[in-house]
Amino acid sequence: MTSLLDVPSASAPDRRDGAPSGVPDARGQQRPRVFTAPAFTSSAGQEAIELAAVAGLHLDPWQQFVLHVGLGENPDGSWASFETCVNVPRQNGKGAIIEARSLAGLYLLGEQLILHSAHEFKTAIEAFRRIESLIVNTDELRKRVKRVRRTTGEEAIELLSGQRLRFLARSGGSGRGFTGQTNLMDEAMILGDEPIGALMPTMAAVKNPQLWYFGSAGIGAASRHLARLRRRALQAMETGIPDPSLAYLEWSINPHVKECAADCSDHDDPLSALSVAKANPALGYRLTPEHTERERLSMSGEVYGRERLGVGDYPSDEEDAWSVIGEEAWRALGDGTSRPDDPLCFALDTTPERTHTAICAAGANGASTHVEVIDHRPGTGWAAERLAELVVKWRPCAVVIDEGGPAGSLVPAVKRALKDPELLKGAQLTDDEVDELLVFPKVRQIAAACGQFYDGVAEQRIVHLAQAPLATALAGADKRPIGDGWGWARRGVSVDISPLVGVTFAAWGHAERAHIEPEGAPNLW
């Protein structure tokens, strides 16, 4: 049988499999820290790598290693790994592995239907465009194409021999009715039970199926399925017995904990350059030490640990994600084409740690209320000016901020921005007009807003764009008592519910102010 230590890697100048020495040309570690895979006797990985090179896609050694392992074969030619999971920090190049696996399925392996799904529609579309470009720009691949479908929601590539590659945004129903031989699931850190329940049965009647997951560090309750896969891998490493059907490859560090002694050598220092190399195999290929250091200086320790060092928040199997509003109920209200009518209402919220801030909007869409995350970024410094720009552009009926919550500290900056002639492009708002525009809900109104949002979902009067930050927030949300009502709370400190709080306040503010003209609503424009 093939030893995993003997799996070939492409030659590369000055390639290092270990941590960097601190010099500028240091390379990231090419083997994962967390790893399990069943033994295999042969692999289709090398053929996949060579085909990718024909299309102009030249893979790093770590990317080649993933393909060799994931495409490992049993003596009868079946896949040794039914499931393969690649967990690596962002911008390391997992997309190239997805593209190489897709090309192999279409042109080498004879797979009749490959389903490529992502949590967000825009992510699936970007993947479609990249793979289409690889094929279209390679003569020997392009000539085997029968058609390329570019209709929104129907994106697909079909060969003359009948193989198809389809691109989907995940939902409770996406993938039902399709018998996919291979499922490629991007953004696996946002993957609940419903998509798995929809896609897994499509493979039951297929000979030699395979399921691939691609994602980065866990983000709490939304990473429930990724957490299950990871637990299987850790158990395999602990017992020394490989998981019989899972190949799991994770680039991450094992950070120090509070109990560590000063001279602890069993854990990794998040501030060390060695840690960056351990978690980022693309260091020295497409990531530079200078850029990762800029990230470290700009991000909070928690965010930097998650985004660059692979330190995830993985829920236990007992934790019940989507405990307030069910995932299926929420997904059913998603409509990527929804657009709100004027007037809009904006709302601003931030996390208690001030790691992320969200600006959200609500507006009427027929008899429903459209809610949307307009902007969601790290930190707080950008929010006031961005909100002022949106106010000038959309002339909302109100801007809602919970003055007693974490966003209350941003109110002075928001007021200054709303009176800044440069930001308002010459418009002049008086103190009274700014006070009229801003709405600060009282405690009982916060409870009413949460209750109204919950009822709107239950009665299917809410419509949304199926945005990832909002779904993640709902997956990790809980309730906190407010008098006889309740408000939004988070299930853990790593959960960011600012998008959920934002759309809840925006929907409430719209209901309160949109229909009042001119008295009771600002008449500023």
pLDDT digits 0-9 by tens, 231-272: 999 999 988 999 999 999 999 999 887 667 777 778 899 998
- Name every residue whose Cβ is closer than 8 Å to that of residue 256 and which is 6 or more positions away in sequence: 264, 267, 268, 269, 270
Residue 343, preceding bond cis, omega within 30 degrees? yes
Which three-class secondary structure state does DSSP give residue 246? strand
CA dist 489 and 500 (Å) reads 10
pLDDT digits (tens, 9 = 90+) for 59-72: 999 999 999 999 99
In this prediction, residues 482-498 reach a mean pLDDT of 84
In this prediction, residues 389-401 reach a mean pLDDT of 94
Asked if pLDDT for residue 525 goes beyond 50, the answer is no
User: Read out DSSP for 299-353?
Assistant: S-HHHHHHHTT---B---TT--SS-SS-HHHHHTTB-TT--PPSSPEEEEEE-TT
The whole-number pLDDT of residue 265 equals: 79
In this prediction, residues 169-194 reach a mean pLDDT of 73
Asked if pLDDT for residue 479 goes beyond 80, the answer is yes
The whole-number pLDDT of residue 178 equals: 57
Going by pLDDT thresholds of 50, 70 and 90, the confidence category of residue 6 is very low
Q: What angle do CA 500, 502, 504 make, to 5 degrees?
A: 70
Token pair belonging to 439: 């709405």
Percentage of the chain lying above the pLDDT 90 cut: 65
- Please report the beta strands in 386-437, taking only residues with DSSP state E, as ranges in sequence order: 398-401
What number of other Cβ atoms are within 10 A of residue 450's Cβ? 23
Going by pLDDT thresholds of 50, 70 and 90, the confidence category of residue 230 is very high
Going by pLDDT thresholds of 50, 70 and 90, the confidence category of residue 320 is low
pLDDT digits (tens, 9 = 90+) for 115-131: 998 887 888 889 999 99
Asked if pLDDT for residue 277 goes beyond 80, the answer is yes
- For 229-238, b where at least 16 C-beta lie within 10 A, e where not — what string? bbebbeebbe
Domain boundaries, the chain: 30-321, 327-513
In this prediction, residues 406-420 reach a mean pLDDT of 93
The whole-number pLDDT of residue 10 equals: 35
Which three-class secondary structure state does DSSP give residue 116? strand
Token pair belonging to 369: 């209320």
The whole-number pLDDT of residue 417 equals: 92
Which three-class secondary structure state does DSSP give residue 391? helix
- Name every residue whose Cβ is closer than 8 Å to that of residue 400 and which is 6 or more positions away in sequence: 345, 346, 347, 348, 438, 439, 440, 441, 505, 506, 508, 509
Which three-class secondary structure state does DSSP give residue 71? coil
CATH class (in words) of the domain with range 327-513: alpha beta
Asked if pLDDT for residue 407 goes beyond 50, the answer is yes
Among 168-177, 203-212, 391-400, which is the least confidently predicted range? Answer: 168-177
Question: What topology is assigned to 30-321 in CATH?
Answer: Rossmann fold (3.40.50)
Query: How far are the Cα atoms of 179, 200, 322, 375 from residue 205, in angstroms, in the given order?
Result: 8, 10, 31, 43
The whole-number pLDDT of residue 111 equals: 93
What rounded mean pLDDT belongs to the chain? 87
In terms of average pLDDT, the best of 118-132, 343-357, 423-437 is: 343-357
Which three-class secondary structure state does DSSP give residue 208? coil
Asked if pLDDT for residue 335 goes beyond 70, the answer is yes
What number of other Cβ atoms are within 10 A of residue 150's Cβ? 12
Asked if pLDDT for residue 517 goes beyond 80, the answer is no
Going by pLDDT thresholds of 50, 70 and 90, the confidence category of residue 205 is confident
Among 17-31, 252-266, 330-344, which is the least confidently predicted range? Answer: 17-31
In this prediction, residues 481-506 reach a mean pLDDT of 88
Going by pLDDT thresholds of 50, 70 and 90, the confidence category of residue 22 is very low
Q: Is the separation of the CB atoms in 306 and 226 below 8 Å?
A: no
The whole-number pLDDT of residue 170 equals: 74
pLDDT digits (tens, 9 = 90+) for 367-385: 999 999 999 998 999 999 9
Asked if pLDDT for residue 486 goes beyond 60, the answer is yes
Asked if pLDDT for residue 315 goes beyond 50, the answer is yes
- Please report the beta strands in 186-325, taking only residues with DSSP state E, as ranges in sequence order: 210-215, 246-250
Residue with tokens 């799904």: 117
The whole-number pLDDT of residue 256 equals: 82
Pairing of strands 368-378, 356-365: antiparallel
The whole-number pLDDT of residue 238 equals: 86
Going by pLDDT thresholds of 50, 70 and 90, the confidence category of residue 13 is very low
Q: Which amino acid is at 286?
A: R
The whole-number pLDDT of residue 4 equals: 39
In this prediction, residues 176-183 reach a mean pLDDT of 71
The whole-number pLDDT of residue 373 equals: 96
The whole-number pLDDT of residue 267 equals: 87
Percentage of the chain lying above the pLDDT 70 cut: 88
